[in-house]
Structure 1
Amino acid sequence: MTAPPDTARLLAAVTGLRTELERTRLPLELGSAPAARIVRGELLHQLDDYLLPRLSALDAPLLAVVGGSTGAGKSTLVNSLVGSVVSRSGVIRPTTRASVLVHHPADEQWFRGDRILPDLVRLTGDTGGDEDQRAMRLVATAELPQGIALLDAPDVDSVVSANRNLSRQLLAAADLWLFVTTAARYADAVPWELLRACAERGTAVAIVLDRIAPDAVDEIRAHLASMLADQGLGDAPIFVVHEVALDPGRLLPVPEIQPLHAWLTKLGSDARARADVIRQTLQGALASLPERVGSVGYAADEQVAASGELWATAVTNYARAAEGVRVGLDDGTLLRGEVMARWHEIVGTGEFFRSIERGVGRARDRLAALLRGKSAPVPPEVDRLDGALQSGVAALLLAQAQGAAGQTGRDWRSLSGGLELLEADPALARSSPDIEERVRTDVRDWQAELLQLVHDQAGDKKAAARFLALGVNGAGAVAMIAVFSVTGGLTGAEIGIAGGSSVLAQRLLEAVIGEQAMRGLAKQAKQLLYDRADGVLEDERQRYADVLDRLELADDAGARLQAAITELEAAR
């Protein structure tokens, strides 16, 4: 057979399409996914088992796959055509066994390797393995003409799903489907579903009506021919095998299979006739690709869109959490409740705070005196104050992180594809197990950064030393109160959160670094805390990105499939 001039380009285009189909993933449980996965699997099998090997070797023997319903007599027919038992008939249904490929000895080179059906193990001679459904036994016989091979396939309606799937795979690898049916089964739904697929894809088909009573031949043959014509298969030849007793070797009498044997012999020996069948099926298979690949591309685009929606809701929820942290740090909430109770244990109330109200200047002098050591040191209750402050900041961040995780979990349950991801990884509906320790560590580290800022910006080194001599907890607590009381340029007293208590902390810090520097330090310290909070939330949000990344979805999968089909159409 002379290859057409564009065969090389066509082969390259089909190879490119196969590459794109292989990298296309459909992991999310969307409405279009189950059918698209089946189509994708069928396409990959057809490309590997038929289109690529056929385009690579247009002169290879014609492969006729013998398929049909359970009990139709496929194996008996194959055995009778070659004159010996090469394919074991299934006495007990369903039969799970290796498929049998019969070929002329001179054609062995075409089938021994993995040119076609590469995922089936080859068996020859008496090597065993006949019970392996994913194996194919090669049988050489001169009873078949060179140029044609017969492959006995499992039942298309087997109750064993693996048999059904293999049957469809083998039929998709055929140049010619030799469909075997009986008087009782020729109108069954399952084989007609496959016959319609053959018509849609242009696959060459021949029909064998097996075990037909002589007085019913005309009626059944006419009805079958009408059904075939209705499905666009009116040109398919029909061969009749009467209901007769098998000979001692469990073979059909020669006269019963002679017309079919003669037709196959002529087809095998006539290169032009063989080429016509191959061309019909090849062109039909190529013509069926755009619509089928298009359905996979549509499903792939849906996967990307659904993944994007899942990611977007995670981004939104954690952005809200980050904003919630900022609001909580800025609105003075942290200076209420236990924090103020602990602060009052240290500095007391009454006349001391009234003196602050009467004159900020005198309060500043008094606080400076405290730092110079002229007043009593801060009492040990500072440990409880520092703990309350750290716990408050940590609780705020934890609450926002846990809220974002919970909301993302609820959102994913209602979004396409999200429920199955949550069922596979329930931890996504809550924060990471170690988040509390990470948050508390970050808060402690931030407090250390804050004290370093105080040290670096101190104008009076002696004052700074006395301030830091209050201890990490004492100095840290005072600095934290001062930072959290500066909100939008207003003091704690002006927004009525903690009255003179927050002013006291500010004045303590101002005595060390100065009033202007105090506000700059507060802004810088808050930004450092925002950054740490953002880091924690980004780490939590990344869990959802990791899950979606593992889906291995390509944003341009649909477009790449379409581009591959466009190239294929141009090559044809």
Structure 2
Amino acid sequence: MTNRTTQVLDAFAEHLRALELPLPVEGAEQARAESAAALSQLSDHVVPRLDSLDAPLLVVIGGSTGAGKSTLVNALVGRPVSRSGAIRPTTRRPVLLHHPLDEPWFTGSRILPGLARVRAGQRRDPEAPGSRDTTGDVDPATSLELHAEDRIPQGLALLDAPDIDSVAIGNRELARQLLRAADLWLFVTTANRYADAVPWEVLRTAAERDVTVDVVMNRIPDREGVSEELAEDLRGMLERQGVEVNRLFLVPETDIDEEGMLPPAAIAELQEHFTRLAADGDGRGKIARRTLAGAVDGLSGSAARIAEHATVQDAERERLREQAVSSFSGARERIDDALGDGSLLRGEVLARWQDVVGTGEFFRGLESFVTRARDRIGQAVSGRPAPAVAAEQALGTGLVHVVIDETARGAERADAAWRSTPAGRHLAEGQDLSRLPDGYSEEVSAAIRAWQGDVLELVRAEGADRRTKARLLSLGVNAVGVALMVVVFASTAFVPTGLEVGAGAATAVVGQKLLETIFGDEAVRRMAAVARERLTARLDALVADRSHLFLDRLDALGEEGSAAQLDEDAQALAQLAHDIREDA
């Protein structure tokens, strides 16, 4: 292979191995199966054939249950080497027959590297790979039985595959894997089974991939005109299905001997065909290149289809991400609404703040407000928290409740949205994502207390000069800090409607005037902006931390963007198939 060819195939294989299609969306299972099949074909056929264009031609003999594949193989060899019988399925382990001089091509892992090699007659360890290749197993065989036979012409190898419609799932899967590894497919059917649906499905796949196909119609009744009539009907069906057949062999119904062998005359035409093909190096090379180009073209189509499924997966991930983000963004917006609509300045917070400054007194004379406020702040009763501390605690408790309630609602909305689709249910499985984690209340409380500490530090820093410091100390850092918190919570668009709300609005005005009296207009605006930014940052972190329980599950699915890589692979593989045909 050239370096460019190696790079194209290696890149495709790497992208397939790294591919993540974890969500149960429509077509995902099919795409995963196609990805596994593509990887199998790369290692089983495409790469080894490109490396060794002069290797023996691999003829895979496939067909339906009871079509007589093994009987034909035995006849071609001249002795029983592949089991045949009335019990189905009879081909437990694929059997590969080759000329003794071609043995080095098959004893290693050049082709079908996933199957262990077992020589004919070799005694096997019962625990060794392939030792349990039994009839009816769900899992496919894990070994390939090798027979060196002088009757097989050099340059050609025959592989007797399991039935494509086997009752054993593993056998069906293995049969398709082996057919993908074929240079030439010898399809065996019978006079009364050639119209069955399953073989035609596989034949259409062979046609799509431009695999060279020979067909054997077996067990044709030995009556005048029957052979010609059936052959004409089969050719018509092949033509209508777009299946181009290289040769059609007709084998009459014939008695077999006590060893289950056909008379040599029954397969003479087929035997002669293989002998001529083995002797024709150019003919074998033409078949190998045609099938190889078709296989690479087929991989190009697979890459394009898998890319489409990867796009669907990425879109589903994005939809789930948007649902989670939207749910928590809504929670964050509702927290901001509670901060700005005055609701936090009612009830307990309003009562405690009025204990601090007395709103009614304020409106009777702004000029002496600071003096009266200082007097009220100093009137704490022994054994009770100072009014400013009680107001600060009430305000913090109210904010904690709002954050917990709205974040919990956001989680419930996100969880409900995810559980409405199979992909979301798959991600949410095993955990109640709508439930607040243990310790979340303490985490919120700690964050709000930390922010209140930030506010008090802002007040201290702004009141550091001598003139402001005197006023600050006379009122108390906590009281002034609560006033700044009240201003942060008060929205400029707040329009009071009712007695309690009106009192809340007045409370915000009191806080504003108190701060302006101490620090001045510009300083108050600056302090409020900084306090608001720090509160926003802490609230963002609290809500984002809760949303990560959802988003982390999406991130754990692996990298996105496989679709673009696979689209590039599809184009590169199509070009490679074209080049192979041009070289041929």
Whether the TM-score (by the shorter chain) exceeds 0.5 is yes
8 Å CA contact 2:70, 2:84 repeated in 1: yes
Matches within 5 A, 1:6-405: 9-89=4-84, 91-94=86-89, 97-124=92-119, 125-128=122-125, 129-132=130-133, 133-215=141-223, 216-233=226-243, 235-343=245-353, 346=355, 353-370=359-376, 373=378, 379-380=384-385, 385-405=391-411
8 Å CA contact 1:303, 1:553 repeated in 2: no
**Residues of 1 paired with 2:85 and 2:492: CA distance?**
86
Change (3 A) 1:433 1:570: same
CA shift, 1:194, in A, is: 0.7
Q: Which amino acid aligns with 1:127?
A: R
Query: Which segment is superposed worse, 241-250 or 511-520?
Result: 511-520
Query: Which segment is superposed worse, 512-521 or 401-410?
Result: 512-521
CA shift, 1:189, in A, is: 0.3
Change (3 A) 1:367 1:467: closer
Q: Which amino acid aligns with 2:31?
A: A
CA shift, 1:500, in A, is: 5.4
**Residues of 2 paired with 1:136 and 1:414: CA distance?**
47
**Residues of 2 paired with 1:10 and 1:153: CA distance?**
30
Q: Which amino acid aligns with 1:131?
A: R
420, 423, 448: which one pairs with 1:443? 448
**Residues of 2 paired with 1:248 and 1:443: CA distance?**
92
Q: Which amino acid aligns with 1:73?
A: G
**Residues of 1 paired with 2:394 and 2:89: CA distance?**
73
Matches within 5 A, 1:510-521: 517-521=523-527
Change (3 A) 1:448 1:353: closer
Aligned residue in 1 for 2:486:
482
Residues 548-570 of structure 1 show CA distances to partners (whole Å, capped at 9, x for unaligned) of: 23333433x33333333333344
Change (3 A) 1:347 1:231: closer
8 Å CA contact 1:104, 1:148 repeated in 2: yes
Change (3 A) 1:423 1:452: closer
CA shift, 1:356, in A, is: 2.0
Q: Which amino acid aligns with 2:164?
A: V
RMSD: 3.4
Change (3 A) 1:179 1:47: same
521, 545, 563: which one pairs with 1:539? 545
**Residues of 1 paired with 2:21 and 2:84: CA distance?**
39
Aligned residue in 2 for 1:3:
none
Secondary structure at 1:202's aligned position in 2? coil
Residues 299-345 of structure 1 show CA distances to partners (whole Å, capped at 9, x for unaligned) of: 2223223322332333333333333222221222111123334556x
Change (3 A) 1:559 1:90: farther
**Residues of 1 paired with 2:142 and 2:170: CA distance?**
10
Structure 1: which 5+ runs fail to align?
Answer: 1-5
Secondary structure at 1:63's aligned position in 2? strand
8 Å CA contact 2:186, 2:215 repeated in 1: yes
Change (3 A) 1:485 1:145: closer
Q: Which amino acid aligns with 1:141?
A: E
8 Å CA contact 1:208, 1:240 repeated in 2: yes
CA shift, 1:424, in A, is: 3.2
Change (3 A) 1:185 1:7: farther
Q: Which amino acid aligns with 1:329?
A: L
548, 555, 559: which one pairs with 1:549? 555
| TM-score (structure 2 length as normaliser) | 0.84
CA shift, 1:161, in A, is: 2.4
Residues 193-245 of structure 1 show CA distances to partners (whole Å, capped at 9, x for unaligned) of: 11111122111112222233212433323322322233344543223333334
Identical pairs, percent = 39
**Residues of 2 paired with 1:523 and 1:434: CA distance?**
30
8 Å CA contact 2:65, 2:165 repeated in 1: yes
Q: Which amino acid aligns with 1:455?
A: R
Secondary structure at 2:458's aligned position in 1? helix
CA shift, 1:359, in A, is: 1.1
